[in-house]
């Protein structure tokens, strides 16, 4: 999960990776070398958001695996010899 902020000193856009930001309470602006700190309360909230994001990604991957299994199962059933094919007419 990426984000960006503008340096409060010079306005340079600073790209941030929230996971890295949680581990490092401060960083340096590449434009003016100003040291920028993240308030502890904001770091705690960022940890919660990041944990929620990772949980959603895990659930999404699990659903994708389940959908792939269902597709494979469906394809195998269609390929079985002697299976009847149904035709629907409107």
Q: pTM (2 decimals)?
A: 0.42
Within 10 Å of residue 21's Cβ, how many Cβ atoms? 20
Predicted local distance difference test score (pLDDT) of residue 30: 92
Locate the domains of the chain by residue range. Answer: 2-69
pLDDT in tens, the chain (90 residues): 567 889 999 999 988 876 667 777 788 899 999 998 877 676 677 777 778 888 899 999 999 999 999 888 887 776 666 555 656 665
Q: What is the pLDDT of residue 39?
A: 72
């Amino acid at each position: 999960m990426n984000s960006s902020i503008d340096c409060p000193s010079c306005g340079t856009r600073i790209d941030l990776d929230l996971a890295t930001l949680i581990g490092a309470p401060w960083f340096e602006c590449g434009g003016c070398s100003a040291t920028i700190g993240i308030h502890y309360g904001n770091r705690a909230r960022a940890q919660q958001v990041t944990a929620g994001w990772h949980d959603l990604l895990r659930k999404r991957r699990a659903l994708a695996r389940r959908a792939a299994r269902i597709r494979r199962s469906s394809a195998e059933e269609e390929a079985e010899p002697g299976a009847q094919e149904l035709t629907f007419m409107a």
